[in-house]
Chains A and B, each alone.
Chain A
């Protein structure tokens, strides 16, 4: 955090000054470790084993927050008899179709309840595209039980029915007992064996965390992409969720799980998404086959209980914001104008579509995939197969120049004269040169005002998109073609303001966009709460969770009242969605009877005289619903929540220790090795996540390595992880052209322990080359104790650390670490695995020209790599171990 989020780290330092204990768990010793009370180096890719070990310790030693767990989690809920755990299936769950890499999760459901038939993201079935997969079978596979992970960004799967519970937590099929059994093999010994963390260090972490998680005290988890960039990334975060729910650390001040996002406002670009599978406010994207009409869609997607029951209001208000007067009850508010998914269109599948010639054009707005995305060569090969490419950035980044000076030009894999892609480069304005908002990890919107006019031809992205839309609409004006209606009917009337330095070149008013996102009623009056939204077309709102950010016509995100002039919750600094709540699920900060768990941690409580919830924050609960409220049997939606259903967005009002629906790869986390690992899975016979998304990205330039005990795995004997350092920003577009940042970290380097340096003859300050099945790169050698070797599975394992900031362009250059990574993905969110791989490292620089390819080919030969290596189907507890017969 000190390394990548130094400004945010000031608050950790402040907490430390007030007595907080800081524990840093990371393969490398970073600036964060230097300031922590305890640094725990662990093998990259083993966090589920580590956290699972803590869960086991908490359960075995009864250190969980009993009353919280019984009242606010699904610990007491009974799971159906058909569920079979990894304990009985050697590392996979019931419902696995190993050939299709798919779980039918009907067996995971609660006893007596029914997991709502899955809907939403039906395109993704077992990690394959629906269309063209099996011809006649296509439609069937399109509607079978499918993952809808992304449909639940803030929702949770819909559930109906009354569930059996046992509040004594003794029934063997309670979630609690299932949890206990599932994690029983995650012993301190197993943690040491798997993670390379000595038992005494591990037990110290357990003690520190448990001592600090009581009615009087809370602990927070902070994570970044070190947890998410894995083939089991979502389950990493799930493991932390289970632990924090068991310890009573959710919904209480000082608790929580905080995702540090990788860029300014990445949270904002998830809320109002740049993603293919959701609409603003985590409304699921429509699907071509099933989303036939508004009513059908809403009925399928909404929840029966909780705030997602109002989905129709959120969606219709969104349609009114986009299409204004053209959206009427008669035309279902232009529901048909919305695009439909026909398959998965994640970033990496878009690359595959480019290679297949399906995707012809590509906009890169502040993105440098030729350096920053997994398997950078695949990114460039994809771009070389486009008709046109638009790059908007500060400088001529690698993604704008690969066609004339990229690595493939040097190796001879591409010739400039053969590339038909027309490349447009448009200089972009920086955040200081435009108005706008950032949404940070705690859902806080903070407005920034323009400080200076952008120089030269640089313009804001808002300017670009607004005028692009305007010009397209001018071209289409007068068209009678039905397909042009969605563009022509858009409300594209944003007010503009002149740019003094560029007469005639008007900049749209960013605040007008914020006002549209906030929404208004039929009279144009700004709305103040999403509870005002209606499904009858009387309200418009560009993003329901942001409703209130422009309440009273005031830019609430621009509020900057100093912390010294308000209470410690500081509700008048910026604006947090939803409803300016600073802590979500804050009903859980009080006991079931509505009194605070402790005076020290009092945050929200029930005032019996006033008959309402009071405290320091905006209640994340119906403000006047009494703690002892029991909803009528026939209640639905928000009214169906009881006075203790603190987790109001969940369909059963509970924090989920066990996930009966909504995840593609299991109701509970299980430790799997990364796609490529130097270690055989110590926990299960199943080596890798059985439903990882891999088939769609098979390509000659994206070969996979043997792993663990598989023959050939020893060719890549070292663990590899990639990361950022404080001096640079991501793929370098914002830092490698800045002299003052570039001089602070002037070249690509690799970090290795003294032991590895000796084993491979690497010289401090000299050159080394690092090899995977994809490519070979070179780097200067930093020999340092900061990248410690570990004792894992009975042997010493060395790790290689690679910052990923450099590329061939800019003031400071170097090979891109992402030349080495692959496109294999997490099945829930389609993210790549760049944090845990296996590699070889050798002294000296890499070969030049075609010899570079020859070296990689030689590694393929030595490791026996074929097009099926690493793709072996899951075993489902029956056949030979995944991977054992794979190469």
Chain B
């Protein structure tokens, strides 16, 4: 069986996912790995990325249930089969820009994030605000200080992509750009990939059962165009390019923010040694990942598969889907809208 050595190799640090996907000759010969760097510190929450993504990819509209979620200005509420870019809006009683209406508040109610249940967060899916933290502080609270974080989330195009590992049809595949794409004409709707994703990104469309997610505009990349969301972003919060270059840019941006005293700034998904081998789409955040609805320490859900294969031999093949599903049952605990 050929899957085993390939998978093991993929899990050992910095990798060339396109080569692992069979592109090139093992020493290159394919385009550089392309990705997104989403710098949330300059996101203005205009949602042009969401609209451009839907327009280009002809994704169905997806009106929120009940008409008014009330989660700040976020009405798309998380990534899903019909939302491949999603802008989170987080209202916080924390200082930014020194806003102070000068009105002392009588009974401060803290919205401290210390008590967060990270697993239930992950279960809600990527960039969904936790249900028990109002996205909009609805109660009178501490004086003045207020900030509004905005962040455009997207499929991470993991270096070690569990969705791809568990796909039995080959519908999910690794492109020559190192990105992960679902082929809707091959997908049989088995749904294994859905619980496999450590970020809760990929999702089944209700009316057709197939799995859908961001393709990093594979069709545009092929003709040298940048993805629709990055093209539409007015402030360059979404940057597209060779991943190596984006990482350098992100490091420089982070250093600059730290120099100006914004010590909370951090990169998310940048580290090739994290649980997914680094993300092809990574982020600069201004707070803990949980605040944005992102899991703090994502791990590729197929991490233990090689070890298991070693023990169970060929029979392991039939377990892949089951293990992934069982693993997923501990983290997918409802809360998703789709």
Contacts and interface: CB of A to CB of B under 8 A. Distances in A.
Interface of A: 2, 6-7, 9-10, 13, 17, 24, 29, 31-41, 192, 196-198, 201, 204, 725-727, 739-747, 749, 754-755, 757-758, 764-765, 780-786, 788-791, 796, 812
Contact of A784 (B54, B72, B105, B236): B72
B218 interface: no
A10 B48 CA distance: 13
Contacts of A197: 102
Contacts of B234: 6-7, 9-10
A781 B138 CA distance: 10
B274 to A, nearest CB: 28
Given A38-B97, A739-B61, A757-B138, A747 B67 contact: yes
Given A34-B147, A790-B102, A39 B140 contact: no
A13 B44 contact: yes
A746 B62 CA distance: 10
B45 A742 contact: no
Interface string B136-162: 111111000011111000000000000
A765 B65 CA distance: 13
Contacts of B138: 754, 757, 764, 783-784
Contact of B101 (A34, A739, A764, A788): A788
B185 to A, nearest CB: 24
Contact of A740 (B51, B97, B236): B51
A788 B50 contact: no
Contacts of A757: 138
Interface string B43-61: 0111110110011000001
B136 A31 contact: no
Given A196-B102, A726-B46, A10 B235 contact: yes
Nearest to A748: B68
11 contacts: A6-B234, A13-B44, A31-B150, A204-B98, A727-B73, A740-B50, A740-B54, A754-B139, A781-B70, A782-B70, A789-B103
A791 B62 CA distance: 41
A41 B101 contact: yes
Closest 7 pairs (CB-CB, A-B) = A739-B61, A198-B102, A6-B46, A765-B70, A34-B148, A764-B138, A788-B101
Contact of B137 (A742, A765, A785, A791): A785
A745 B77 CA distance: 12
Contacts of B68: 746-747, 749, 765, 780
B103 A796 contact: yes
A747 B65 CA distance: 12
Given A743-B63, A785-B146, A791 B102 contact: yes
Contacts of B251: none
Contact of A10 (B62, B102, B236): B236
Given A37-B97, A196-B102, A786-B91, A746 B140 contact: no
A742 to B, nearest CB: 7
Contact of A726 (B47, B54, B146): B47
Interface string B96-140: 111111110100000000000000000000000000001011111
A37 B262 CA distance: 13
A754 B93 CA distance: 13
Interface string B197-237: 00000000000000000000000000000000000001110
A80 B177 CA distance: 76
Contact of A780 (B48, B67, B146): B67
A785 B91 contact: yes
B48 A6 contact: yes
A790 B103 contact: yes
Contacts of A32: 44
B235 A9 contact: yes
B76 A764 contact: no
Contacts of A781: 70
B188 interface: no
B64 A34 contact: no
A80 B266 CA distance: 64
A758 B51 contact: no
Contacts of A33: 97, 99, 148
Contacts of A41: 99, 101
Given A196-B101, A744-B51, A784-B137, 8 more contacts: A2-B45, A13-B235, A39-B99, A740-B51, A744-B50, A746-B75, A764-B70, A791-B102
A192 B101 CA distance: 10
Contact of A744 (B44, B47, B100, B149): B47
B50 to A, nearest CB: 7
A34 B140 contact: no
B187 interface: no
A2 B46 contact: yes
Contacts of B51: 740-741, 744
B323 interface: no
A36 B97 contact: yes
B74 to A, nearest CB: 9
Given A29-B99, A34-B147, A765-B68, A726 B136 contact: no
The winner among A744, A764, A765 for most chain B CB atoms within 10 A is A744
The winner among B69, B102, B134 for most chain A CB atoms within 10 A is B102
A743 B62 contact: yes
Contacts of B15: none
Nearest to A751: B136
Contacts of B141: 754, 785
A29 B46 CA distance: 15
The winner among A17, A40, A725, A784 for most chain B CB atoms within 10 A is A784
Contacts of A35: 42, 44
A748 B46 CA distance: 18
Nearest to A757: B138
A386 to B, nearest CB: 35
A764 B72 CA distance: 11
The winner among B54, B101, B149 for most chain A CB atoms within 10 A is B101
A31 B91 CA distance: 11
Contact of B61 (A34, A740, A749): A740
Contact of B76 (A39, A744, A812): A744
Contact of B136 (A9, A725, A742, A783): A783
Given A6-B44, A749-B68, A764 B61 contact: no
B41 to A, nearest CB: 9
A409 B98 CA distance: 49
Nearest to A727: B47
A36 B148 CA distance: 11
A743 B77 CA distance: 11
Nearest to B147: A34
Contact of A754 (B42, B101, B140): B140
Contacts of A765: 68-70
A29 B140 contact: no
Contacts of B64: 743, 746
A36 to B, nearest CB: 5
Nearest to A758: B140
Contacts of A742: 61, 63
B22 to A, nearest CB: 36
Contacts of B76: 743-744
Contacts of A755: 103, 105, 140
A441 to B, nearest CB: 16
A726 B45 contact: yes
Contact of B55 (A37, A740, A789): A740
A764 B134 contact: yes
A749 B74 CA distance: 13
B91 A784 contact: yes
Nearest to B141: A754
Given A782-B70, A784-B137, A785-B91, A38 B98 contact: yes
A727 B42 CA distance: 18
Contacts of A198: 100-102
Contacts of A789: 101, 103
Contact of A782 (B42, B101, B136): B136
B302 to A, nearest CB: 34
Contacts of B101: 41, 196, 198, 788-791
